[in-house]
Structure 1
Amino acid sequence: MASKPLSSPPSWAAVPNATLSGGIVAQIRAAVLNREIVAGQFLGSEAALSEQFGVSRMAARDALRTLEGLGIVEIRMGARGGVWVAQGNPDRLADALAIHLKLIGITSGEVFDAQMAIEEMAARLAAERRDEADLEHLRAVLAELSSLKSELDRFADASMRFHEAIVRASHSRILLAQFHALSFVLEPVLRPNLTSASAVRIVRHHKLLLEAIESGDGAQAARLMQERLAYQRARTLSQETDPASRAD
Protein backbone atom coordinates (compact mmCIF):
# COMPACT_ATOMS: atom_id res chain seq x y z
CA MET A 1 0.00 0.00 0.00
CA ALA A 2 1.37 3.40 -0.95
CA SER A 3 2.23 5.72 1.89
CA LYS A 4 0.09 8.79 2.27
CA PRO A 5 1.68 12.24 2.53
CA LEU A 6 0.87 14.39 5.52
CA SER A 7 -1.43 16.99 3.96
CA SER A 8 -2.41 18.86 7.12
CA PRO A 9 -0.28 17.94 10.13
CA PRO A 10 -1.96 18.10 13.53
CA SER A 11 -1.04 21.05 15.70
CA TRP A 12 1.05 19.30 18.30
CA ALA A 13 1.12 20.96 21.72
CA ALA A 14 4.42 21.70 23.41
CA VAL A 15 5.11 19.10 26.07
CA PRO A 16 5.81 20.19 29.66
CA ASN A 17 9.18 19.08 30.96
CA ALA A 18 7.52 16.93 33.61
CA THR A 19 5.94 14.61 31.03
CA LEU A 20 8.34 14.80 28.06
CA SER A 21 8.20 11.55 26.04
CA GLY A 22 4.99 10.42 27.75
CA GLY A 23 3.25 13.55 26.51
CA ILE A 24 4.32 12.88 22.94
CA VAL A 25 3.10 9.30 23.14
CA ALA A 26 -0.26 10.43 24.53
CA GLN A 27 -0.81 13.03 21.80
CA ILE A 28 0.11 10.76 18.89
CA ARG A 29 -1.95 7.92 20.33
CA ALA A 30 -4.95 10.24 20.70
CA ALA A 31 -4.46 11.54 17.15
CA VAL A 32 -4.69 7.96 15.82
CA LEU A 33 -7.82 7.22 17.86
CA ASN A 34 -9.43 10.47 16.66
CA ARG A 35 -8.41 9.73 13.05
CA GLU A 36 -6.44 12.97 12.83
CA ILE A 37 -3.65 10.80 11.46
CA VAL A 38 -4.07 7.50 9.61
CA ALA A 39 -2.09 4.40 8.65
CA GLY A 40 0.68 5.12 6.16
CA GLN A 41 0.86 8.83 6.94
CA PHE A 42 4.22 10.56 7.19
CA LEU A 43 4.71 12.47 10.45
CA GLY A 44 8.14 13.94 9.84
CA SER A 45 11.70 13.38 10.95
CA GLU A 46 12.78 12.89 14.54
CA ALA A 47 14.34 16.37 14.46
CA ALA A 48 11.18 17.99 13.08
CA LEU A 49 8.98 16.26 15.66
CA SER A 50 11.23 17.25 18.56
CA GLU A 51 10.94 20.87 17.40
CA GLN A 52 7.16 20.67 16.98
CA PHE A 53 6.69 19.19 20.45
CA GLY A 54 9.23 21.55 21.99
CA VAL A 55 11.38 18.82 23.48
CA SER A 56 14.94 17.57 23.08
CA ARG A 57 15.91 15.04 20.43
CA MET A 58 16.47 12.50 23.22
CA ALA A 59 12.92 12.92 24.57
CA ALA A 60 11.50 12.64 21.04
CA ARG A 61 13.60 9.53 20.37
CA ASP A 62 12.39 7.88 23.60
CA ALA A 63 8.78 8.62 22.68
CA LEU A 64 9.19 7.27 19.17
CA ARG A 65 10.76 4.06 20.45
CA THR A 66 7.78 3.60 22.75
CA LEU A 67 5.34 4.28 19.91
CA GLU A 68 7.22 1.87 17.68
CA GLY A 69 7.08 -0.79 20.38
CA LEU A 70 3.32 -0.29 20.64
CA GLY A 71 3.01 -0.74 16.89
CA ILE A 72 1.70 2.82 16.38
CA VAL A 73 4.53 4.20 14.27
CA GLU A 74 7.18 2.83 11.95
CA ILE A 75 10.63 4.42 11.90
CA ARG A 76 12.38 4.18 8.55
CA MET A 77 15.98 4.84 7.62
CA GLY A 78 17.49 6.00 4.34
CA ALA A 79 16.24 8.35 1.63
CA ARG A 80 12.60 7.89 2.62
CA GLY A 81 13.43 7.83 6.28
CA GLY A 82 11.44 9.38 9.07
CA VAL A 83 8.42 8.56 11.19
CA TRP A 84 5.31 7.03 9.62
CA VAL A 85 2.02 5.90 11.12
CA ALA A 86 2.16 2.10 11.04
CA GLN A 87 -0.22 -0.14 9.14
CA GLY A 88 -2.59 -2.16 11.34
CA ASN A 89 -1.56 -5.73 12.18
CA PRO A 90 -4.37 -7.98 13.55
CA ASP A 91 -1.94 -10.83 14.26
CA ARG A 92 0.20 -8.54 16.41
CA LEU A 93 -2.93 -7.36 18.21
CA ALA A 94 -4.01 -10.93 18.94
CA ASP A 95 -0.56 -11.92 20.18
CA ALA A 96 -0.27 -8.90 22.47
CA LEU A 97 -3.78 -9.39 23.86
CA ALA A 98 -3.13 -13.07 24.58
CA ILE A 99 0.11 -12.28 26.42
CA HIS A 100 -1.47 -9.56 28.52
CA LEU A 101 -4.43 -11.79 29.37
CA LYS A 102 -1.96 -14.30 30.79
CA LEU A 103 0.07 -11.62 32.57
CA ILE A 104 -2.99 -10.27 34.41
CA GLY A 105 -3.86 -13.80 35.53
CA ILE A 106 -7.07 -14.26 33.55
CA THR A 107 -8.88 -17.46 34.55
CA SER A 108 -10.05 -20.23 32.23
CA GLY A 109 -13.63 -19.42 33.17
CA GLU A 110 -13.22 -15.80 32.11
CA VAL A 111 -11.67 -16.83 28.81
CA PHE A 112 -14.50 -19.27 28.12
CA ASP A 113 -17.06 -16.55 28.86
CA ALA A 114 -15.43 -14.28 26.30
CA GLN A 115 -15.03 -17.10 23.79
CA MET A 116 -18.72 -17.95 24.06
CA ALA A 117 -19.73 -14.36 23.37
CA ILE A 118 -17.38 -14.10 20.37
CA GLU A 119 -18.11 -17.46 18.75
CA GLU A 120 -21.88 -17.34 19.24
CA MET A 121 -21.96 -14.02 17.40
CA ALA A 122 -19.51 -15.31 14.79
CA ALA A 123 -21.67 -18.39 14.12
CA ARG A 124 -24.77 -16.22 13.72
CA LEU A 125 -22.99 -13.82 11.35
CA ALA A 126 -21.38 -16.69 9.42
CA ALA A 127 -24.82 -18.09 8.63
CA GLU A 128 -25.87 -14.67 7.36
CA ARG A 129 -22.71 -13.57 5.55
CA ARG A 130 -20.90 -16.71 4.36
CA ASP A 131 -20.10 -17.06 0.69
CA GLU A 132 -19.40 -20.18 -1.31
CA ALA A 133 -15.65 -19.96 -0.68
CA ASP A 134 -16.32 -19.92 3.07
CA LEU A 135 -18.57 -22.98 2.80
CA GLU A 136 -16.05 -24.88 0.69
CA HIS A 137 -13.34 -24.18 3.27
CA LEU A 138 -15.57 -25.28 6.16
CA ARG A 139 -16.47 -28.50 4.35
CA ALA A 140 -12.81 -29.25 3.64
CA VAL A 141 -11.75 -28.71 7.25
CA LEU A 142 -14.67 -30.81 8.51
CA ALA A 143 -13.74 -33.64 6.13
CA GLU A 144 -10.17 -33.52 7.41
CA LEU A 145 -11.44 -33.45 10.99
CA SER A 146 -13.59 -36.55 10.40
CA SER A 147 -10.53 -38.48 9.22
CA LEU A 148 -8.42 -37.62 12.27
CA LYS A 149 -10.51 -38.96 15.17
CA SER A 150 -7.75 -41.42 16.08
CA GLU A 151 -4.93 -38.84 15.81
CA LEU A 152 -5.77 -36.50 18.67
CA ASP A 153 -2.97 -33.95 18.26
CA ARG A 154 -3.81 -33.39 14.61
CA PHE A 155 -7.51 -33.51 15.44
CA ALA A 156 -7.08 -30.70 17.98
CA ASP A 157 -5.36 -28.53 15.36
CA ALA A 158 -8.08 -29.21 12.79
CA SER A 159 -10.87 -28.55 15.29
CA MET A 160 -9.38 -25.15 16.10
CA ARG A 161 -9.11 -24.41 12.38
CA PHE A 162 -12.80 -25.29 11.95
CA HIS A 163 -13.73 -22.77 14.65
CA GLU A 164 -11.44 -20.22 13.02
CA ALA A 165 -13.09 -20.85 9.64
CA ILE A 166 -16.47 -20.07 11.17
CA VAL A 167 -15.18 -16.80 12.59
CA ARG A 168 -13.62 -15.93 9.22
CA ALA A 169 -16.96 -16.62 7.56
CA SER A 170 -18.51 -13.93 9.79
CA HIS A 171 -16.36 -11.43 7.85
CA SER A 172 -15.66 -9.52 11.08
CA ARG A 173 -12.01 -8.61 11.54
CA ILE A 174 -12.44 -7.65 15.18
CA LEU A 175 -14.09 -10.98 16.06
CA LEU A 176 -11.26 -12.79 14.27
CA ALA A 177 -8.54 -10.90 16.17
CA GLN A 178 -10.28 -11.60 19.48
CA PHE A 179 -10.76 -15.25 18.56
CA HIS A 180 -7.05 -15.63 17.80
CA ALA A 181 -6.07 -14.06 21.11
CA LEU A 182 -8.39 -16.31 23.11
CA SER A 183 -7.38 -19.43 21.17
CA PHE A 184 -3.73 -18.80 22.11
CA VAL A 185 -4.80 -18.87 25.77
CA LEU A 186 -7.30 -21.75 25.58
CA GLU A 187 -5.47 -24.18 23.31
CA PRO A 188 -3.01 -25.41 25.98
CA VAL A 189 -5.95 -25.96 28.35
CA LEU A 190 -8.14 -27.84 25.88
CA ARG A 191 -5.61 -30.10 24.16
CA PRO A 192 -4.67 -32.35 27.14
CA ASN A 193 -8.34 -33.11 27.83
CA LEU A 194 -9.23 -34.35 24.34
CA THR A 195 -10.24 -38.03 24.12
CA SER A 196 -11.24 -40.35 21.29
CA ALA A 197 -14.82 -40.35 22.57
CA SER A 198 -14.95 -36.56 22.66
CA ALA A 199 -13.52 -36.41 19.12
CA VAL A 200 -16.51 -38.39 17.83
CA ARG A 201 -18.95 -36.04 19.59
CA ILE A 202 -17.11 -32.96 18.33
CA VAL A 203 -17.36 -34.13 14.70
CA ARG A 204 -21.07 -34.84 15.12
CA HIS A 205 -21.64 -31.38 16.57
CA HIS A 206 -19.56 -29.64 13.89
CA LYS A 207 -21.63 -31.32 11.17
CA LEU A 208 -24.82 -29.91 12.68
CA LEU A 209 -23.20 -26.50 12.99
CA LEU A 210 -22.10 -26.52 9.36
CA GLU A 211 -25.62 -27.51 8.28
CA ALA A 212 -27.05 -24.51 10.12
CA ILE A 213 -24.52 -22.17 8.48
CA GLU A 214 -25.17 -23.67 5.05
CA SER A 215 -28.93 -23.16 5.45
CA GLY A 216 -28.46 -19.56 6.63
CA ASP A 217 -30.06 -20.25 10.03
CA GLY A 218 -28.20 -17.81 12.25
CA ALA A 219 -30.26 -18.50 15.37
CA GLN A 220 -29.66 -22.26 15.11
CA ALA A 221 -25.94 -21.78 14.43
CA ALA A 222 -25.60 -19.54 17.48
CA ARG A 223 -27.57 -21.99 19.64
CA LEU A 224 -25.43 -24.95 18.59
CA MET A 225 -22.25 -23.00 19.24
CA GLN A 226 -23.49 -21.90 22.65
CA GLU A 227 -24.42 -25.46 23.62
CA ARG A 228 -21.04 -26.87 22.63
CA LEU A 229 -18.98 -24.16 24.29
CA ALA A 230 -21.05 -24.22 27.48
CA TYR A 231 -20.52 -27.99 27.72
CA GLN A 232 -16.83 -27.63 26.97
CA ARG A 233 -16.52 -24.88 29.57
CA ALA A 234 -18.18 -26.95 32.29
CA ARG A 235 -16.10 -30.06 31.57
CA THR A 236 -12.81 -28.17 31.29
CA LEU A 237 -13.32 -26.29 34.55
CA SER A 238 -14.31 -29.57 36.20
CA GLN A 239 -11.04 -31.07 34.98
CA GLU A 240 -9.11 -28.20 36.53
CA THR A 241 -10.65 -28.84 39.95
CA ASP A 242 -10.82 -32.65 39.62
CA PRO A 243 -7.96 -34.02 37.50
CA ALA A 244 -9.50 -37.50 37.62
CA SER A 245 -12.28 -36.36 35.29
CA ARG A 246 -11.90 -36.12 31.51
CA ALA A 247 -13.15 -33.23 29.41
CA ASP A 248 -15.00 -33.84 26.14
Structure 2
Amino acid sequence: MSAGLLQTSEQKEERPPKPRASEEIAGELRRLILTGEVVKGEFLQPTVSLMRRFNVSRPTMREALRLLENEQLISVRQGSRRGVQVLQVSTDAATRMAGQTLQATGATIADLYEAQIGFEPFAARLLAKRSDRRDIAELRGHYAVLKQTLAAGSVSEHGVALARFHHLLVSLTGNKVMILVGDLIASTLERHQQRDDAKRYGAIMTEKEKLSFRLGGIKSIAKLIQFIEDGQVDEAEAHWRRHVENANEYWLRDQDRHALVNVVF
Protein backbone atom coordinates (compact mmCIF):
# COMPACT_ATOMS: atom_id res chain seq x y z
CA MET A 1 0.00 0.00 0.00
CA SER A 2 2.87 2.37 0.80
CA ALA A 3 5.02 1.24 -2.14
CA GLY A 4 3.84 4.09 -4.36
CA LEU A 5 4.88 6.64 -1.72
CA LEU A 6 8.52 5.56 -1.51
CA GLN A 7 11.39 6.83 -3.61
CA THR A 8 13.23 4.49 -5.90
CA SER A 9 16.98 4.12 -5.46
CA GLU A 10 17.49 6.39 -8.48
CA GLN A 11 15.38 9.12 -6.88
CA LYS A 12 17.18 9.16 -3.53
CA GLU A 13 19.65 11.98 -3.03
CA GLU A 14 23.17 11.07 -2.05
CA ARG A 15 23.70 14.18 0.06
CA PRO A 16 21.38 15.12 2.93
CA PRO A 17 19.31 18.23 2.23
CA LYS A 18 20.27 21.51 3.87
CA PRO A 19 18.02 22.63 6.74
CA ARG A 20 15.18 24.85 5.59
CA ALA A 21 15.24 28.50 6.59
CA SER A 22 12.21 27.95 8.84
CA GLU A 23 14.05 25.19 10.74
CA GLU A 24 17.11 27.40 11.23
CA ILE A 25 14.95 30.26 12.54
CA ALA A 26 13.05 27.90 14.84
CA GLY A 27 16.39 26.62 16.13
CA GLU A 28 17.59 30.12 16.99
CA LEU A 29 14.33 31.05 18.74
CA ARG A 30 14.32 27.70 20.55
CA ARG A 31 17.81 28.42 21.86
CA LEU A 32 16.70 31.81 23.20
CA ILE A 33 13.76 30.21 25.02
CA LEU A 34 15.63 27.23 26.46
CA THR A 35 18.55 29.35 27.70
CA GLY A 36 16.18 31.79 29.39
CA GLU A 37 17.09 34.80 27.26
CA VAL A 38 13.35 35.13 26.71
CA VAL A 39 11.14 33.90 29.54
CA LYS A 40 7.63 32.63 30.14
CA GLY A 41 4.95 35.22 29.51
CA GLU A 42 7.04 37.52 27.34
CA PHE A 43 5.95 38.30 23.79
CA LEU A 44 8.30 37.99 20.85
CA GLN A 45 8.61 40.88 18.44
CA PRO A 46 5.78 41.26 15.90
CA THR A 47 5.95 38.91 12.95
CA VAL A 48 6.94 41.72 10.58
CA SER A 49 9.89 42.62 12.82
CA LEU A 50 10.97 38.98 13.01
CA MET A 51 10.75 38.74 9.21
CA ARG A 52 13.10 41.71 8.89
CA ARG A 53 15.49 40.36 11.52
CA PHE A 54 15.84 36.99 9.79
CA ASN A 55 15.37 38.37 6.27
CA VAL A 56 12.67 35.87 5.31
CA SER A 57 9.17 35.90 3.84
CA ARG A 58 5.98 35.74 5.89
CA PRO A 59 5.26 32.06 4.99
CA THR A 60 8.76 31.06 6.13
CA MET A 61 8.36 32.96 9.40
CA ARG A 62 4.95 31.41 10.01
CA GLU A 63 6.37 27.93 9.42
CA ALA A 64 9.15 28.58 11.97
CA LEU A 65 6.60 29.71 14.55
CA ARG A 66 4.41 26.71 13.79
CA LEU A 67 7.32 24.38 14.58
CA LEU A 68 7.81 26.03 17.98
CA GLU A 69 4.07 26.02 18.68
CA ASN A 70 3.96 22.27 18.00
CA GLU A 71 6.72 21.86 20.60
CA GLN A 72 4.61 23.89 23.06
CA LEU A 73 7.34 26.50 23.45
CA ILE A 74 5.18 29.38 22.22
CA SER A 75 1.52 30.25 21.79
CA VAL A 76 0.30 32.29 18.84
CA ARG A 77 -2.43 34.39 20.46
CA GLN A 78 -5.31 36.15 18.76
CA GLY A 79 -7.57 38.99 19.87
CA SER A 80 -6.62 42.02 21.97
CA ARG A 81 -3.49 40.30 23.28
CA ARG A 82 -2.45 39.20 19.84
CA GLY A 83 1.14 38.10 19.42
CA VAL A 84 3.59 35.26 19.98
CA GLN A 85 3.88 34.48 23.69
CA VAL A 86 6.61 32.34 25.25
CA LEU A 87 5.30 29.41 27.30
CA GLN A 88 6.68 27.62 30.32
CA VAL A 89 9.04 24.91 29.11
CA SER A 90 7.23 21.67 29.94
CA THR A 91 8.52 18.13 30.21
CA ASP A 92 5.19 16.87 28.84
CA ALA A 93 6.01 17.75 25.25
CA ALA A 94 9.54 16.34 25.52
CA THR A 95 8.20 13.15 27.08
CA ARG A 96 5.61 12.75 24.33
CA MET A 97 8.19 13.27 21.59
CA ALA A 98 10.62 10.87 23.27
CA GLY A 99 7.86 8.27 23.52
CA GLN A 100 7.15 8.61 19.82
CA THR A 101 10.87 8.19 19.13
CA LEU A 102 10.96 5.01 21.22
CA GLN A 103 8.05 3.61 19.24
CA ALA A 104 9.60 4.61 15.91
CA THR A 105 12.96 3.01 16.77
CA GLY A 106 11.43 -0.30 17.84
CA ALA A 107 11.90 -0.12 21.63
CA THR A 108 10.17 -2.96 23.45
CA ILE A 109 8.14 -3.13 26.65
CA ALA A 110 10.93 -5.21 28.20
CA ASP A 111 13.37 -2.37 27.43
CA LEU A 112 11.22 0.02 29.47
CA TYR A 113 10.99 -2.33 32.44
CA GLU A 114 14.76 -2.86 32.45
CA ALA A 115 15.31 0.90 32.40
CA GLN A 116 12.92 1.31 35.33
CA ILE A 117 14.98 -1.17 37.36
CA GLY A 118 18.03 1.01 36.75
CA PHE A 119 16.35 4.29 37.68
CA GLU A 120 14.06 3.87 40.65
CA PRO A 121 16.31 1.90 43.04
CA PHE A 122 19.03 4.52 42.56
CA ALA A 123 16.47 7.25 43.28
CA ALA A 124 15.59 5.43 46.51
CA ARG A 125 19.29 5.34 47.38
CA LEU A 126 19.68 9.08 46.86
CA LEU A 127 16.66 9.87 49.01
CA ALA A 128 17.84 7.58 51.83
CA LYS A 129 21.30 9.13 51.71
CA ARG A 130 19.76 12.57 52.12
CA SER A 131 16.98 11.43 54.49
CA ASP A 132 15.31 14.84 54.30
CA ARG A 133 12.22 15.22 56.46
CA ARG A 134 10.48 17.19 53.69
CA ASP A 135 10.97 14.29 51.25
CA ILE A 136 9.68 11.85 53.84
CA ALA A 137 6.63 14.02 54.53
CA GLU A 138 5.76 14.06 50.82
CA LEU A 139 6.25 10.31 50.50
CA ARG A 140 4.10 9.63 53.56
CA GLY A 141 1.45 12.02 52.30
CA HIS A 142 1.24 10.15 49.03
CA TYR A 143 1.28 6.82 50.85
CA ALA A 144 -1.85 8.02 52.65
CA VAL A 145 -3.48 8.69 49.27
CA LEU A 146 -2.64 5.16 48.16
CA LYS A 147 -4.28 3.75 51.29
CA GLN A 148 -7.35 5.93 50.74
CA THR A 149 -7.84 4.72 47.17
CA LEU A 150 -7.60 1.14 48.37
CA ALA A 151 -10.12 1.78 51.14
CA ALA A 152 -12.45 3.45 48.63
CA GLY A 153 -12.33 0.31 46.50
CA SER A 154 -11.24 2.02 43.29
CA VAL A 155 -8.68 0.09 41.26
CA SER A 156 -8.43 2.78 38.58
CA GLU A 157 -7.83 5.62 41.06
CA HIS A 158 -5.32 3.49 42.91
CA GLY A 159 -3.47 2.82 39.66
CA VAL A 160 -3.22 6.54 38.95
CA ALA A 161 -2.01 7.24 42.50
CA LEU A 162 0.56 4.45 42.23
CA ALA A 163 1.94 5.90 38.98
CA ARG A 164 2.24 9.27 40.72
CA PHE A 165 4.19 7.67 43.55
CA HIS A 166 6.73 6.31 41.06
CA HIS A 167 6.99 9.81 39.58
CA LEU A 168 7.37 11.37 43.04
CA LEU A 169 10.14 8.97 44.02
CA VAL A 170 12.27 10.11 41.09
CA SER A 171 11.26 13.79 41.13
CA LEU A 172 12.28 14.22 44.78
CA THR A 173 15.89 13.50 43.80
CA GLY A 174 15.94 16.87 42.03
CA ASN A 175 18.00 15.37 39.21
CA LYS A 176 16.56 16.95 36.05
CA VAL A 177 17.78 14.22 33.70
CA MET A 178 16.40 11.45 35.92
CA ILE A 179 13.07 13.27 36.21
CA LEU A 180 12.67 13.65 32.44
CA VAL A 181 13.61 10.06 31.64
CA GLY A 182 11.70 8.74 34.66
CA ASP A 183 8.56 10.54 33.49
CA LEU A 184 8.91 8.97 30.06
CA ILE A 185 9.27 5.47 31.51
CA ALA A 186 6.52 5.84 34.12
CA SER A 187 3.92 7.45 31.84
CA THR A 188 4.45 4.92 29.04
CA LEU A 189 4.36 1.94 31.39
CA GLU A 190 1.24 3.30 33.09
CA ARG A 191 -0.68 3.28 29.80
CA HIS A 192 0.45 -0.24 28.98
CA GLN A 193 -0.38 -1.49 32.48
CA GLN A 194 -3.86 0.04 32.47
CA ARG A 195 -4.62 -1.67 29.19
CA ASP A 196 -3.12 -4.98 30.29
CA ASP A 197 -4.79 -4.89 33.71
CA ALA A 198 -8.20 -4.48 32.12
CA LYS A 199 -7.51 -7.23 29.59
CA ARG A 200 -6.01 -9.66 32.09
CA TYR A 201 -8.44 -9.32 34.97
CA GLY A 202 -11.51 -7.65 33.56
CA ALA A 203 -13.47 -10.88 33.33
CA ILE A 204 -11.93 -13.08 36.00
CA MET A 205 -11.28 -10.89 39.06
CA THR A 206 -13.64 -8.79 41.12
CA GLU A 207 -12.72 -5.29 42.24
CA LYS A 208 -12.21 -6.63 45.77
CA GLU A 209 -9.79 -9.29 44.53
CA LYS A 210 -7.82 -6.74 42.53
CA LEU A 211 -7.49 -4.46 45.55
CA SER A 212 -6.38 -7.36 47.73
CA PHE A 213 -3.67 -8.15 45.21
CA ARG A 214 -2.39 -4.56 45.33
CA LEU A 215 -2.24 -4.52 49.13
CA GLY A 216 1.13 -6.27 49.05
CA GLY A 217 2.57 -3.42 47.00
CA ILE A 218 1.32 -0.89 49.56
CA LYS A 219 3.14 -2.69 52.37
CA SER A 220 6.34 -2.68 50.32
CA ILE A 221 6.05 1.08 49.80
CA ALA A 222 5.65 1.62 53.55
CA LYS A 223 8.83 -0.37 54.13
CA LEU A 224 10.72 1.71 51.56
CA ILE A 225 9.67 4.97 53.22
CA GLN A 226 10.89 3.66 56.57
CA PHE A 227 14.29 2.77 55.10
CA ILE A 228 14.54 6.28 53.64
CA GLU A 229 13.56 7.89 56.93
CA ASP A 230 16.14 5.81 58.82
CA GLY A 231 18.85 6.71 56.30
CA GLN A 232 19.46 3.05 55.43
CA VAL A 233 20.94 3.64 52.00
CA ASP A 234 21.85 0.11 50.90
CA GLU A 235 18.66 -1.36 52.35
CA ALA A 236 16.45 1.20 50.58
CA GLU A 237 18.10 0.57 47.22
CA ALA A 238 18.08 -3.23 47.56
CA HIS A 239 14.48 -3.33 48.79
CA TRP A 240 13.18 -1.16 45.97
CA ARG A 241 15.14 -3.11 43.40
CA ARG A 242 13.41 -6.31 44.56
CA HIS A 243 10.07 -4.53 44.54
CA VAL A 244 10.49 -3.24 40.98
CA GLU A 245 11.87 -6.56 39.72
CA ASN A 246 8.94 -8.49 41.22
CA ALA A 247 6.39 -6.00 39.94
CA ASN A 248 7.91 -6.00 36.48
CA GLU A 249 7.97 -9.78 36.37
CA TYR A 250 4.28 -9.73 37.19
CA TRP A 251 3.47 -7.26 34.41
CA LEU A 252 5.60 -9.12 31.87
CA ARG A 253 4.06 -12.48 32.72
CA ASP A 254 1.98 -13.82 29.85
CA GLN A 255 3.10 -10.87 27.73
CA ASP A 256 5.25 -10.74 24.64
CA ARG A 257 8.45 -9.23 26.04
CA HIS A 258 9.44 -8.21 22.53
CA ALA A 259 6.21 -6.29 21.90
CA LEU A 260 6.95 -2.79 20.70
CA VAL A 261 6.25 0.29 22.79
CA ASN A 262 2.93 1.79 21.73
CA VAL A 263 2.29 5.39 22.78
CA VAL A 264 -0.84 5.75 20.65
CA PHE A 265 -3.66 3.79 22.28
TM-score by length of 2: 0.69
1:212 to 227, 231, 240: 227
Counterpart position of 1:141: 142
Answer yes or no: is the 8 Å Cα contact 1:73–1:84 preserved in 2. Answer: yes
Q: Secondary structure at the match of 1:44?
A: coil
Q: Which residue of 1 aligns with 2:247?
A: 232
* Cα gap change, 1:65 to 1:203, in 2 (>3 Å): same
- Unaligned runs of at least 5 residues, structure 1: 1-16, 243-248
Relative to structure 1, the CA distance from residue 36 to residue 207 in structure 2 (aligned partners, 3 Å threshold; closer, same or farther) is closer
Deviation at 1:105, TM superposition (A): 4.3
AA aligned to 2:253 is S
Q: Which deviates the most, 53-62 or 139-148?
A: 139-148
Identity over aligned pairs, percent: 26
Contact 1:134 1:165 in 2 (8 A): no
Tell me the distance in 2 between the aligned counterparts of 1:26 and 1:140.
Answer: 42
Does residue 164 of structure 1 match 2:164?
no
Q: Distance in 2 between matches of 1:124 and 1:88?
A: 29
Displacement after TM superposition at 1:18 (Å): 7.8
- Supply the AA of the counterpart residue of 2:37: I
**Conserved in 2, the CA contact under 8 Å of 1:43 and 1:82?**
yes
Tell me if structure 1 keeps the 8 A contact 2:133–2:229. no
> Bigger shift: 124-133 or 228-237?
124-133
What does residue 178 of structure 1 align with? 181
Query: For 2:184 and 2:19, how far apart are their aligned partners in 1?
Result: 36
Matching residue of 1:108:
109
| Aligned residue number for residue 188 of structure 1 | 191
- In angstroms, what is the RMSD of aligned CA positions? 3.2
Task: Give CA deviations for 1:37-81 in whole Å, capped at 9, x if unaligned.
Answer: 343455422111111211111111111111121123333456765
1:202-222 alpha-carbon deviations (Å, 9 max, x no partner): 123212211111112333222
Q: Deviations over 1:5-43 (max 9, x none)?
A: xxxxxxxxxxxx98231221233334555x383434554
The alignment status of 1:122 with 2:137, answered yes or no, reads: no
Gaps of 5+ in 2: 1-17, 202-209, 258-265
Bigger RCO of structures 1 and 2 (CA < 8 A, at least 6 apart): 2
Post-superposition Cα deviations, 1:83-138, rounded to whole Å, max 9, x if no partner, equal: 44432123343344345444544311111122223322322222244643432332
Determine the C-alpha separation between the residues in 2 that align with 1:87 and 1:153: 30
Contact 2:71 2:93 in 1 (8 A): no
